[in-house]
Chains A and B, each alone.
Chain A
């Protein structure tokens, strides 16, 4: 057993209101630079929708992620031979138009336009060329034009549904959507790391954050192809690839990443998980319907004394183990089994888990009367607005049982809390729902607390980074004593 620690995340989709505050927080800090304008390390997609970059989930187009290859996995579109074959021309790369051409407006024209009969206008100009552009699309046009045949109907996950199911989804009374915020998953089996010919991408040993060394990056862009989530981006100005850094400078100083910190819906949770690195290959190569379970088996119980002993032996700090015990991610993912990875079939073992959105209430039209379909909120999984198969395509590699179990648990918590606070459902009804979902009332209350009332420190459990230990691995601190610390890097204008 090779126990390591990973900073993992949970996004609670029921709470996301799609305000894009996270995206803006990230953009302001990290990607408001020349060459990075088109990047959204954090983006919020509307589902059903095509996403950003368009149809990123379709690996027949982009060839990202891993393929099962016997007992192991191999990269779908990159790697030694495939990479070498395409090293000077990689046809699977997304082009700028697959993302969107970033633009701004010539606001100065509003002030400087000569007097005339018409109102002056601020025309859009490209942030790449500086020329006038006809804006074709933006990073979240699914949202702005949600449900249109151009976006919602072209959702890649709809391919898993029958034609009748697809039609039903787009009936006015059933029509629905939810938001899917996405950042880098800081995977356990990252395809970007495996694909890099320069060895510039690495997964940090202490917390599993995946980073691109900007000095070593040689712009081969194999990571852009390899990442099935399309979360590495090529900066055309610097000639280097970039990706979400999980705000590691903030994490190292005990702060939550900017997108987590700014989230107004408080949908985001962050905390460490202990895992067994020896099981990664086996889990990544599991049969498709067992992928979620195989990944869950990797994460280890931080309360088990044997696990704690081995973790300490492996150099994991006590503070990290303690944080893993308090981790909200451990609770959502392993204890309550409410959160699932996004597209586990890409076999990268992502460390960002989603609590799927509960969209139960449904309407129907009866003799011209618009009414809800059932007596209660919950009429069983079959009448969920989103077909289970659609959610399974997103979160469990097609395994609908997993989704049904999560949905039942979520609904049981809601039924239970309604019987406690509102009283419109009976105690018996609530108890039956809890029984069916396999949880007790205390657990349901705990889920409710962490979902709705959690404080900042409960949502973000950030272990001390112990940077001093990392530095001691690289150099003797005694050598630099006296040459760092207080003083001047540049000569002051006066004095001295």
Chain B
């Protein structure tokens, strides 16, 4: 027993030492990081998705600027960088999520981008591939399924949370959803069609969403159905009469008031003060 315990303790210390040494030396290669964090919105030499094609970017911008932008584009824009502002406006004010990565990783990404450019210098920055939006021809059942997935009446196969817990969509018959994340009513046009939506859903780049779907990815079928649904919502939006009222909020407030009234009625005869109150107050008076 004694010896066993000592061995366990020793091996714990050793393992701790090894880990301590090992952690900083894990060198992620640029390609893996790019695929995990960037590929949802960017390509290298394959045209525009949600964000710009990154081909040639390393020669256009200094590395320092690229790191700053990647870390937090909004900070850069607010600091008054004209280029950054121009790019932001060009992409309809679509915010690139902040990437909280160490400098080494960001450098690795751009090293990978640079190597990719060298291998296949497409250099076609202007004409994006014509979007082939399959969801334009989606079946009504697919749209319906997408809607069910969104509101949560159909569970995601891998157990991820349903969209409505964080997102809102203003659409007929859908109760107001969460306010934790962006409103998705016009997400389809904002993200530039199928490719954008599917990129995001396939590998969510937003920190909270990444965490929520880390081990519970959506299947392709689910993504396709959701895309079809977002497409439909976006199209129908023009003819939508979105009511400004939030029935859940007002209903909840009214219910709260009713409950409070009910409780105060039930306990109208409750003991409100300590039994000694009169005694103590009289004694205070007599001082």
Contacts and interface: CB of A to CB of B under 8 A. Distances in A.
A230 to B, nearest CB: 11
A481 interface: no
Contact of B276 (A85, A89, A137, A149): A137
Interface stretch (B25-33, B122-130, B279-287): B279-287
Most chain-A CB neighbours within 10 Å: which of B267, B274, B277, B280? B274
Contacts of B271: 61, 91-92
Given A136-B280, A150-B282, A150-B283, A98 B275 contact: yes
Given A136-B280, A137-B280, A150-B282, A91 B275 contact: no
Contact of A137 (B266, B269, B270, B279): B279
Contacts of B266: 85
B191 to A, nearest CB: 47
A109 B270 CA distance: 42
B286 to A, nearest CB: 10
Contact of A98 (B269, B274, B283): B274
A49 to B, nearest CB: 12
Contacts, number: 36
A32 interface: no
A95 B269 CA distance: 16
Interface string B251-287: 0000000000000001101110011110110110000
Most buried by B among A55, A61, A89, A91: A91
A344 interface: no
Contacts of B267: 89, 91
A98 B270 contact: no
Contacts of A53: 275
Given A150-B282, A150-B283, A54 B276 contact: yes
A97 B283 contact: no
A149 B282 CA distance: 10
A166 interface: no
A154 interface: yes
Given A85-B266, A91-B267, A150 B279 contact: yes
B275 to A, nearest CB: 4
B7 to A, nearest CB: 19
A92 B271 CA distance: 6
Interface in B227-270: 266-267, 269-270
Interface string A81-108: 0000100010110110110000000000
A85 B262 CA distance: 13
Interface string A122-158: 0000000000000011000000000001110010000
A55 B275 contact: yes
B260 to A, nearest CB: 13
Interface residues of B, number: 13
A111 B270 CA distance: 47
A260 to B, nearest CB: 30
Interface in B170-184: none
Contacts of A97: 274, 276-277
A78 to B, nearest CB: 15
Contacts of A149: 282
Contacts of A61: 271, 275
Contact of B270 (A50, A91, A94, A151): A91
Interface string A260-299: 0000000000000000000000000000000000000000
A150 B271 CA distance: 20
A89 B267 CA distance: 9
Contacts of B270: 91-92
A150 B269 CA distance: 24
Interface string A155-194: 0000000000000000000000000000000000000000
B265 to A, nearest CB: 13
Contacts of A92: 270-271
Interface string B143-167: 0000000000000000000000000
Contacts of B277: 97
A151 B275 CA distance: 12
A229 to B, nearest CB: 16
A133 to B, nearest CB: 13
30 contacts: A50-B279, A53-B275, A54-B274, A54-B275, A54-B276, A55-B275, A61-B271, A61-B275, A85-B266, A89-B267, A91-B267, A91-B269, A91-B270, A91-B271, A92-B270, A92-B271, A94-B275, A95-B274, A97-B274, A97-B276, A98-B274, A98-B275, A98-B276, A136-B276, A137-B276, A137-B279, A137-B280, A150-B282, A151-B279, A154-B279
Interface of A: 50, 53-55, 61, 85, 89, 91-92, 94-95, 97-98, 136-137, 149-151, 154
Interface of B: 266-267, 269-271, 274-277, 279-280, 282-283
Given A54-B275, A149-B282, A150-B279, 15 more contacts: A50-B279, A54-B274, A54-B276, A85-B266, A91-B269, A91-B271, A92-B270, A92-B271, A94-B275, A97-B277, A98-B274, A136-B276, A150-B282, A150-B283, A151-B279
